[in-house]
Homo-oligomer: A and B are copies of this chain.
Amino acid sequence: MSETIIKFGILGCAEIARKVGRSIILAPNATIVAVGSRSAEKAARFAADNGFPAGTRAYGSYDAVLDDPEVDAVYVPLPTSLHAKWAIQAARKKKHLLLEKPVAVDVAEFDGIVEACVASGVQFMDGTMWMHHPRTATMKEFVSDERAFGKLRAMHTCFAFAADPDFLENDIRVKPDLDSHGALGDAGWYCIRSILWGNDYELPKSVTALRGPVLNKAGVILSCGASLYWEDGKVATFHCSFLSHLTMDITAIGTKGTLQVHDFVVPFQESEASFSVASESGFNELVTGWVTKPAEHIVSTSLPQEALMVKEFSSLVGAIKAGGSQPEMKWPIISRKTQLVLDAVKLSIKRGFEPVEVVG
């Protein structure tokens, strides 16, 4: 393949940029050419420590990355409160935008980002890696199979991990001025996205936060949940937390089948991932056992999901660069819906767990 190689600049030296940096190197149609930090020295050390390609330019500012004419696209893993500023600047400078999740402080701010991307004709995609694992497509086939799964009725999703005391005190994800969504933005984002994914991105009619969220002294969410429902009777719940043991589940229940996965955000291992399905299960005659048990499916992948994300993004960017293609709007649209639900959960907590209508 003589596909265009998309040249990335990275804004900042966040921990997550190590994983995504590796994935840009692994993706066959992408490479890293620049990294910027508040100090050029730090950027250079980050590039060296993480095996970035020889010749990667290390800049002492984010602006310098955006001004580098060779940079096609930027990966932005900055704290959420800085997303709008830097994402909009990047778009204005015609840089395609791979933006870490949660995408914005609220949907109004996100709309500003999308507007800037549209005005400049650049591709937008958020950093929700699991969307790009081939397992996700295989699971989607199952839940879309009317014969095997029927119609979706209920979902429950969960992403929790036990943050250590240092994280709970000092991480940017517990600071109201940096990542104000806390566990809802960091972990709940995935839960919300998976629920929307299961519902073919149909927004729920209403979102109600569950009683009993845990906030820190600054009001940042450390643990919360919500219930969602759709006009046609579908329901969903999720739970996200920094305060309990690593758990990442999707359960999707249709009229005829059930899907279960226990490592949806980060698969247990990189080269393959599994999920289980059951279809038209029932009991034996005396109800002393099941006549069909759930079956496990294993999906292999030659590239890690984050490299597939970069590959997909770069492929879209390549098509735009080659001329003739417009940015794929699916990606900002599902980011926006995820943010809309996230905003609704926060508003519902603020309103004392009243339901919040979601208007797309």
Q: Which residues of A contact B (CB under 8 A)?
A: 16, 18-19, 22, 149-150, 153-154, 156, 158, 160, 162, 206, 208, 210-212, 214, 223, 225, 227, 229-230, 233-235, 237, 239, 241, 243-247, 249, 251, 253-258, 260, 262-263, 266-270, 276, 278-283, 286-290, 293-294, 304, 306, 353, 355
List residues of chain B with CB within 8 A of the CB of A244: 153-154, 253-255
Q: Which of B234, B245, B276, B288 contacts A258 (CB 8 A)?
A: B245
Report the minimal beta-carbon distance from A357 to chain B, rounded to whole angstroms.
Answer: 11
Report the minimal beta-carbon distance from A286 to chain B, rounded to whole angstroms.
Answer: 5
* Closest 5 A/B residue pairs (Cβ): A212-B229, A153-B244, A246-B281, A210-B227, A212-B235
List residues of chain B with CB within 8 A of the CB of A270: 288-289
List residues of chain B with CB within 8 A of the CB of A283: 246, 266
Q: Are B255 and A245 in contact (CB under 8 A)?
A: yes
List residues of chain B with CB within 8 A of the CB of A276: 262
Given contacts A19-B287, A243-B153, contact A251 B158 (CB under 8 A): yes
Chain copies in complex: 2
Q: Which of B154, B227, B262, B288 contacts A211 (CB 8 A)?
A: B227
In the complex, the chain B residue whose C-beta lies closest to that of A288 is B270
Q: Which of B162, B212, B257, B266 contacts A256 (CB 8 A)?
A: B162
Q: Are A237 and B225 in contact (CB under 8 A)?
A: yes
Among A282, A288, A294, chain B packs the most CB atoms within 10 A around the CB of A288
Q: Are A160 and B247 in contact (CB under 8 A)?
A: no
Q: Are A18 and B286 in contact (CB under 8 A)?
A: yes
List residues of chain B with CB within 8 A of the CB of A230: 212
Q: Are A262 and B210 in contact (CB under 8 A)?
A: no
Among A18, A290, A293, chain B packs the most CB atoms within 10 A around the CB of A290
Among A18, A233, A304, chain B packs the most CB atoms within 10 A around the CB of A233
List residues of chain B with CB within 8 A of the CB of A294: 262
A selection of 22 A-B contacts at a CB cut-off of 8 Å is A19-B288, A150-B245, A156-B156, A158-B251, A211-B229, A212-B235, A223-B233, A223-B235, A225-B227, A235-B239, A237-B239, A245-B256, A245-B280, A246-B278, A249-B251, A266-B283, A266-B290, A267-B289, A268-B293, A269-B293, A270-B289, A288-B306
Given contacts A239-B237, A286-B18, contact A245 B162 (CB under 8 A): no
